[in-house]
Amino acid sequence: MRADIDKIISEMTIEEKISLCSGADSWTTKSMVSHAIPSILMTDGPHGLRKQTNMSDIADINSSRPATCFPAACSTACSWDESILYRIGAAIGEEASCENVSLVLGPGLNIKRNPLCGRNFEYFSEDPILAGKMGAAYVQGMEGVGVGACVKHFACNNQERARMSSNSVISDRALREIYLRPFEIAVTAGKPSAVMCSYNKINGVYSSDNENLLTGILRDEWGFGGVVITDWGAMSNRIKAFKAGCDLNMPGGSNYMEKACLRAIRKGTLSETDIDRSVKRILKLVLKYNDIPVMPGPLPDHNDFAAHAAAESAVLLKNEDSILPLKKGCKTVLIGAMAKNMRYQGSGSSHITPSKITNPTDAMPDLPWVQGCLDNGDTNEMLIEEAREAALNADVAIVFAGLPDAYESEGFDRSSMRMPSGHVRMISEIADVNPNTVVILMCGSPVECHFADSVKAILYMGLPGQAGGEAVRKLLFGDTNPSGRLAETWPIHYEDCVSAPYYSKTDDALYLEDIYVGYRYYDKAGIPVRWPFGYGLSYTTFEYSDLVYKDQSVSVTVTNTGNDGGSEVVQLYIALPQEGIHKPVKELKSFKKVYLEKGESCRITFPLNAGDFAIWNNGWHIQSGTYRFLIGGLSESVDITYEDIETPLWQSGSWFESFSGEPDLKTLEFQTGMLYKPAEAKKGSFTVNNSIAEMKDSSFIMKQMYKAVSSYVLKHSNGKADPDDPAYKMMLNMAVSSPLRAMQINAGLKDSLIRGLVLMANGHFFKGLARMLRG
Ligand code: BGC
């Protein structure tokens, strides 16, 4: 194939080469008949296929062909089971083949930096090892059935506020140890066909233009051989992006900066070799995936597996008096709107039209149901009265609560960690009249659970996908023994999060807390949490014994000591020496999920390598000292003599010694070696990187644009500005806050129009008009 590719490239004109590096439309690459270059189709998304029925309208996100809606990543990560992710990847790949889709845009590997990120439900974990391993397994499954996977969003796209332009200011250490790690694992172990670069800047450089990220780290260090694709509208400077190793600009159709690239080549500021590199990688991808056998016939039926995955991912958070599984013959009532109309997936580009839906009431038709609250999370006296009455007359009340659609979505961050007040009230009123209250939580991220002490059991389903109701049934009645473990910490109050005072409060994302994300912070600062990372109960019990470190491996025996067969997630943490340069108390290094029959034991061995002990300090280094291996309450130490890592000068007296109060910008500036200056959006200095929202108050023309764009979005939402419709909220947010260049790419607006508008917004109306007319 190589020879063919070289031959094709040698026969292409430079114009054709540049053109091939942008898609044809929203979802396909360009075909070039004269060179026998085929086109391939790509679609979202991570939790099932989203092949739009209306391919030409990028904004029509909710109209897609039916496909299996698997549990979202927030759930599947809690399975801690790589084989589940492998099978999900393979199943989505099979459905993709049936739909002639060659590349699936997923999985999402961003770290859950703060519980309020609107898109956390699409991401796996606060921990890089768990996120990376889950992602790698998914990629392997999908690539194994001959469909390409595209891991996203590379990198540091951890807030939805200003997500298309925000600057992630971050130290090298946090970047390497936390935010790049999941990508490193998925790229090296999973070998995805593509990586999607993110919208944001990292330390001032847009991801698409970031040579250190896309070539230095991704290709030279990690050996990535595939294609880098932009997120939709993420291309910043096409010339810099070619040099950086960003290959494919998506969506296509706008010819964005293609003429500028030609001029740069003629001037000698861009070399044709840089373009050839990208063309070669794109050709390799399209020739490989255009060749895959398309599976004929209807979509394979993955519904049962979706139910299995959801049940394996659920986390039993509380089970006082072993109230679950439900005892035979006990009078049970289901309460809450979500029992009949469950929340099973998130909103945005990962939204799927499910092939079937099994709500809890469908799966348990014999159990009575009362509404308790409205779909939007509110409630009223009548609904509460009816629910109390039903609960009073039952042995066990199962209350469904969580976050309705409008509370979390791609495109905006959550405003608080609270559940809707109607849900909170419903739980408390039911718990008041029935001591045997069980809460089933359906939400894509942690919520404040102040009700936890007043109910008997809590089962976290996450966003369990289309067969969620069936999974709930299996768990409640003991057909499946819960075996999920939390993939992120559940704080007691939102204010307990280290980044709470500043997260998503400004457009730029200042990673002041550095590596102290999730449990790394709570452990270090000694802050109590509602439920820790890695936590989850079972209907049986497990005991650990014989923890031994030998020949660079850690082994332990785990025994099922209870009365049921069940799965345990064996988690290996390393506690790091605390002297010298700051370090987390402990870090997850490896894990394995094992099924054990009642009374059965097994021995698990985790091989370790030098990387498991290393921290980033201008390169990976291992500090001499005592390291402890922690598994299931046991611990074993080893003294390692390696090197002394110098403690950074800024550490003394800083937050990194006390872990109390807020981390500060000064320290981050020391760490990055850069003074932080927020981007100024000011008349006179607006560029194509500014948004309509930023320019509207100082420019009449932008005010009109703002109105026009808002009414366009409104028209797409059937004319209803519904605050409960997350798709409307997301689209509006994206449309008005996306940089103008992204509008050019996403909406196909002409370059001359965009440049003219910027001139006008800067107060040069006639110059702007002339620019538009010239175009
Ligand atoms: C999202 C990506 C998605 C793409 C195409 C973007 O807005 O960030 O995750 O794959 O749209 O739908």
DSSP 277-288: HHHHHHHHHHHH
The best mutation among 349, 731, 738 to test binding of ligand 1, ranked by most ligand atoms within 8 Å of the C-beta, falls on: 349
Which atom of ligand 1 lies at the shortest distance from residue 108's CA?
9
Beta bridge partners of 394: none
Supply the pLDDT for residue 290.
Answer: 85
The pairing of strands 227-230 and 332-335 is unpaired
Which atom of ligand 1 lies at the shortest distance from residue 163's CA?
8
Q: Which amino acid is it at 29?
A: T
> What residue owns the CA closest to ligand 1's atom 7?
232
Per DSSP, helices labelled H in 608-699 are: 655-658, 665-672, 692-695
Ligand 1 centroid to Cα of residue 232, in Å, is 6
Is the preceding omega at residue 673 within 30 degrees of 0, hence cis? no
> What residue owns the CA closest to ligand 1's atom 3?
349
Which secondary structure element, helix H or strand E, spans residue 98, and what is its range? Answer: helix 82-98
Ligand 1 centroid to Cα of residue 249, in Å, is 13
The residue from 44, 81, 127, 231 that is catalytic is 231
Ligand 1 centroid to Cα of residue 199, in Å, is 10
Place of tokens 């994206």: 734
Place of tokens 């194509």: 688
Supply the pLDDT for residue 3.
Answer: 54
Backbone angles phi, psi at 740, to 5 degrees: -60, -35
> What residue owns the CA closest to ligand 1's atom 6?
232
Which atom of ligand 1 lies at the shortest distance from residue 150's CA?
10
pLDDT per position as a tens digit, 358-398? 999 999 999 999 999 999 999 999 999 999 999 999 999 99
The residues, any chain, with a CB within 8 Å of residue 547's CB and separated by 6 or more, are 554, 555, 556, 629, 631, 634, 635, 636
SS3 per-residue string spanning 439-495: EEEECCCCCCCCCHHHCCEEEECCCCCCCHHHHHHHHHCCCCCCCCCCCCCEECCHH
Q: Is 231 among the residues known to form the active site? A: yes
Tokens of 155: 């990198």
CA dihedral 691, 694, 696, 701 (to 10 degrees): -40
> What residue owns the CA closest to ligand 1's atom 5?
232
pLDDT per position as a tens digit, 491-528? 999 999 999 999 999 999 999 999 999 999 999 999 99
Which atom of ligand 1 lies at the shortest distance from residue 45's CA?
10
Instruction: Report the alpha-carbon distance of residue 2 to residue 288 in Å, rounded.
Output: 11
> What residue owns the CA closest to ligand 1's atom 11?
232
User: C-alpha angle with apex 136: 134 to 141, nearest 5 degrees?
Assistant: 100
The best mutation among 44, 153, 731 to test binding of ligand 1, ranked by most ligand atoms within 8 Å of the C-beta, falls on: 44
> What residue owns the CA closest to ligand 1's atom 9?
349
Supply the pLDDT for residue 333.
Answer: 98
Ligand 1 centroid to Cα of residue 646, in Å, is 42
Which atom of ligand 1 lies at the shortest distance from residue 157's CA?
8
Supply the pLDDT for residue 59.
Answer: 72
Ligand 1 centroid to Cα of residue 488, in Å, is 24
pLDDT per position as a tens digit, 464-479? 999 999 999 999 999 9
The best mutation among 43, 52, 62, 105 to test binding of ligand 1, ranked by most ligand atoms within 8 Å of the C-beta, falls on: 105
Is the preceding omega at residue 155 within 30 degrees of 0, hence cis? yes
Beta bridge partners of 529: 491
Supply the pLDDT for residue 534.
Answer: 98
Ligand 1 pocket residues where CB is under 6 Å: 44, 105, 152, 231-232, 349
Ligand 1 centroid to Cα of residue 494, in Å, is 28
Ligand 1 centroid to Cα of residue 45, in Å, is 8
DSSP conformational letter for 217: I
Residues of the chain with pLDDT under 70: 1-3, 293
Instruction: Report the alpha-carbon distance of residue 80 to residue 85 in Å, rounded.
Output: 9
CA dihedral 88, 90, 95, 97 (to 10 degrees): 160
Ligand 1 centroid to Cα of residue 99, in Å, is 19
Instruction: Report the alpha-carbon distance of residue 446 to residue 125 in Å, rounded.
Output: 12
Q: Which amino acid is it at 655?
A: W
Which atom of ligand 1 lies at the shortest distance from residue 152's CA?
9
pTM above 0.95, yes or no: yes
Which atom of ligand 1 lies at the shortest distance from residue 734's CA?
7
> What residue owns the CA closest to ligand 1's atom 12?
349
> What residue owns the CA closest to ligand 1's atom 8?
231
> What residue owns the CA closest to ligand 1's atom 4?
232
Q: By the 8 A CB rule, do 394 and 359 touch?
A: no
Supply the pLDDT for residue 1.
Answer: 54
Convert 225-245 to b/e letters by CB count within 10 Å (16 or more is b): ebbbbbbbbbbbbbbbbbbbb
Q: By the 8 A CB rule, do 190 and 149 touch?
A: yes
Cα distances (Å, whole numbers) of residue 451 to 326, 333, 376, 420 = 21, 19, 20, 13
Ligand 1 centroid to Cα of residue 442, in Å, is 24
Q: Which of 752, 761, 758, 738 is nearest to 257 (CA)?
A: 752
Which atom of ligand 1 lies at the shortest distance from residue 251's CA?
5
Supply the pLDDT for residue 713.
Answer: 87
Is the preceding omega at residue 501 within 30 degrees of 0, hence cis? no
Tokens of 248: 């494919």
Supply the pLDDT for residue 291.
Answer: 73
Ligand 1 centroid to Cα of residue 17, in Å, is 25
